Each structure stands twice: as structure tokens, then as C-alpha cells.
Amino acid sequence: MSRREANTKGRCVTLHMVSSLDGFIAKKDNTVAWLDSPGSVYEAGVSISEEEAATFVKAIDCYVLGSRTYEHALELGWPYGDTPAVVVTGRKLPPTRKSVEFYSGDLKTLVEVQLAQRYRNIWLVGGAMLSQRFLSLGLVDEIKLTIAPVLLGEGLRLFGGSLTEERWNLKNVVAYKNGFVELSYQSWL
């Protein structure tokens, strides 16, 4: 099934990540202060209210994440509320929250059979390893990449070099007052 056919059937997988200007999604020491807003720095930018953000998040049916992202999210404070979340892992991890289920196996089956039957708006929220697997299998319909106004110099690369050339269609750009820029792309396929 092509991504366009999948879309006509209703499901959409959005890869959402925040990257530094130089393409890193995590620092070596895993600290996240670089993700904090530097304050209002870009006058022409927009800002969104908490209500708008909450409405947006409410429309997400399901999150998918790799086990390392899951473990880090638990350490930092679970950010996905009670929205269903699927953690991809080959390990037997202890259950932590009712909304979380673990998956091990073929990723195409996960998306095209298991998730597509239950959810429409599916968000893949990292990390780099799982995102690259999804992209190389053609399982991502949209990419939402938020660029933070910071150079990190080193860390974990979002697109670590395992991908092949593929064009994406720019759908939207939003520049925020805090200097972050969100780029939205749709698959051509």
C-alpha cells in the first residue's frame, strides 16, 4: 500500500522531532535545557496559547516511540498524558502506565495493521533510531521538524546517515516568537 493509499484510508503517521540548528536531537549527557525557550526574540513570529496547544494535542490519537525515548520521557516526566502510546522494544519492560503498550516485531505490521485499525492521527515522536527505521520503510506520511535556535556541536543526529534520497513537499512553515521554527513536509509518494 502506498503512503497516498494509506492516507485515503484515513491513517496519517506524523514524525515530530525537535532538532538543533546543526541537526542534533539530544545532547551526549541527555540534558534538555537546550530545548527551553530563550524568551521572546523574534518579533514577527507567532505564539500559541495553552488552550490552542491543548486543542492541538487532543487531536492526536496515538504516540509511537522507541524504548530509549520512552525511558527518558519517564525520567523527565511523562509528557503524553493518557493518550495511547506504543513503545517499540525487543525487551520485556515493566508496565508503567495504563495508556502504554509495548510492541516488538515488524514495523509495517505495527502501522498498517495494528495501528491503522484503531487510530488515524498517529505521532511518531522519536528517537533517532526508530524514526530512521520508519522513514526507510516508507511508514512516515508527514514530517514536522521544529528547529531550535541553538547549535549543539555534538550529540545524537536525527538523520544519522542510513537514509536514501527522497524528496518531501513543504506544506507549512511557522516561525514562533521564541525563535523556534516549525517545518511541515508531506511525502510525495
Residues from 32 through 61 that contact ligand NAP (CB under 6 A): none
Closest to ligand NAP by CB, 26 vs 122, is 26
DSSP category for residue 171: E
Helix (H, G, I), strand (E, B) or coil at 107: helix
Question: Rule CB under 6 A: which of 125-144 touch ligand NAP?
Answer: 125-130, 133
Measured between alpha carbons, how far is 35 from 54 in angstroms, rounded to an integer? Answer: 19
For residue 26, state whether it binds ligand NAP (rule: CB under 6 A).
Answer: yes
Burial class (CB in 10 A: 0-12, 13-18, 19+), 153: exposed
C-alpha cell at 44: 514577527
Among 13, 68, 139, 176, binds ligand NAP (CB under 6 A): 68
Q: Which is nearer to ligand NAP, 10 or 53 (CB)?
A: 53
DSSP letter string, 61-106: -EEEEEHHHHHHHHHH---STTS-EEEE-SS-PPP--TTEEEE-S-
Give least dist CB 66 to ligand NAP, A: 2
Query: Cα–Cα distance between 63 and 23 in angstroms, integer?
Result: 22
Q: Find the part of the chain contacting ligand NAP (CB under 6 A) among 2-10, 51-59, 82-90, 115-123.
A: 82-90
Stretch of 46-54, 89-97, 116-124, 167-175 contacting ligand NAP, by CB under 6 A: 89-97
Q: Does 89 bind ligand NAP (CB under 6 A)?
A: yes
Contact residues for ligand NAP (CB under 6 A)? 17-18, 25-26, 30, 66-69, 72, 88-91, 104, 107, 125-130, 133, 156
